[in-house]
Amino acid sequence: MAVLHGINCMVLSFSVMLLKFNDTLELRKRKTDGSRGIGVESALPPNYILGKTTGIGSFGKVKVAEHVLTGHKVAIKNLDLTKVKTKAMEEKVRREINISRLFMHPHIILLYEVIETTAVIFMVTEYAESGELFDYIVLKRRLHEDEARKLFQQIISGVEYCHKNMVVHRDLKPENLLLDSNYNVKIADFGLSNVMQKGHLLKTCCGSPNYAAPEILSGKPYTGPEVDLWSCGVILYALLCGNLSRMITFLTYIRKSRQAGVYTIPSHLSSGARDLIARILVVDPTKRVTIPEIRQHPWFQPYLPRYLAVSPPDTTQQAQKIDDDIFQHVVRMGFERNHLVESLCNRVQNEGTVIYHLLLDNRLGVSSDYLGGAEFPCRGHSTPNHDGSTSQSSASSPCPLGEYKEL
């Protein structure tokens, strides 16, 4: 019986090894021949290996995936165009894509590429491994002020970048703030965002009622930045006071009483935190604190990282900087150097630029876009070759807001 038992164990062990071997062969097969799933996912190019579903929305699923050439994880959101058009949401989706394409900021989810067929749109974005800020607040119940300050500094920097590029988010809330593997903030979901124009007021009533500014809920016209700042104030309260029951009580109370501007700030907060919240959650938008004033506030400034201490560059400035080390790495992968640099400078989407941004994001972490290694400018530069020589490039200036080119 003991011998028979040993033989059975050996057979079972061999079977497990065989299954693992077959799984490995299948994974390699998928990497080389790009075999796909069924349905809309079969239209996705073989550059990505799809993993588990991380979310389900009105128009499709969000899946984690692996980029084959770099091995880095991404998130892929598929949007069923039939559902999008049926619900008359195509304009909203196109606007979200156009705005997301323009942004390069360490605390805004980066859109790597958009793949579109007649039936589906795939949005390939940065993967935020640690999920939503809302879930993190619920888990921690209440964040220490130093941790809340760090997250709030990142949020304000990302929102300031949006406003500098004339975009208002209009749906800032913990559910739309994601966290990467190091628990750094990534602003996401620009579905309700819009482009601001000087001299023009926005009128759309949108966003989540608990986080929306009083002027939005009352139907008054608004410029844009002031409504995002109100939402930031509510988020700051949630970070500092966030046990779920207290959050629900506060959000319900402030929604009912915001016309009078009456709410309670818990006494356990420091005087600086209480003062900043009170300056942000002001009913009159003309008296509400601005981002430059938030930056100067004594509670906001401690432990501010160097890359966040300066005003963020706009998209045109960012596109003119190319990281030399990453650039040379992509060239060694077989991409033609002058075509690559022109694509990067003009924000053209293709396989080479996707690889460049994936490698850049995963090299130095959160501040790599701002304070990376050696850089060279786009316009009028000589492209560095691997052997030390240079090649002249004719790259034109980056595209202005709203004019993103795509191959």
Q: Is 295 left (phi over 0), alpha (psi -120 to 50) or beta?
A: alpha
Residue 118 CB coordination number (10 Å): 7
Q: What is the DSSP string of 174-226?
A: GGGEEE-TT--EEE---TT-EE--TT--B----S-TTTS-HHHHTT--B-SHH
Which has the closest alpha carbon to 185: 118, 240, 237, 137?
137
Would you state the structure tokens that stand for residue 9, as one six-digit string?
């164990």
Does residue 171 have an active-site annotation? yes
Can you spell out the DSSP letters for 110-165? Answer: -EEEEEE-SSEEEEEEE--TTEEHHHHHHHHSS--HHHHHHHHHHHHHHHHHHHHT
Q: Coil, strand, or helix at residue 296? A: helix
What are the residues facing 240 on neighbouring strands? none
Kindly report the number of other CB atoms within 10 A of residue 373's CB atom.
12
Beta strands in 240-332 (DSSP E): 321-323
The number of beta carbons lying within 10 Å of the beta carbon of residue 334 is: 7
CB-count burial class (<10 Å; 0-12, 13-18, 19+) for 208:
middle
Q: Please give the C-alpha separations between residue 62 and each of 127, 182, 194, 207, in angstroms, as whole numbers.
A: 10, 21, 23, 21
Q: Helix 351-361 crosses helix 337-345 at what angle (to 10 degrees)?
A: 70
Residue 307 CB-density burial (10 A; 0-12 exposed, 13-18 middle, 19+ buried): middle
Contacts for 363 with CB less than 8 Å, ≥ 6 apart: 325, 326, 372
Residue 189 has which token pair?
Answer: 């979901």
Give the residue among 197, 198, 194 at the shortest CA–CA distance from 216. Answer: 194
80, 171, 228, 369: the active-site residue: 171
DSSP state of 243: -
- Residues serving a catalytic function are 171
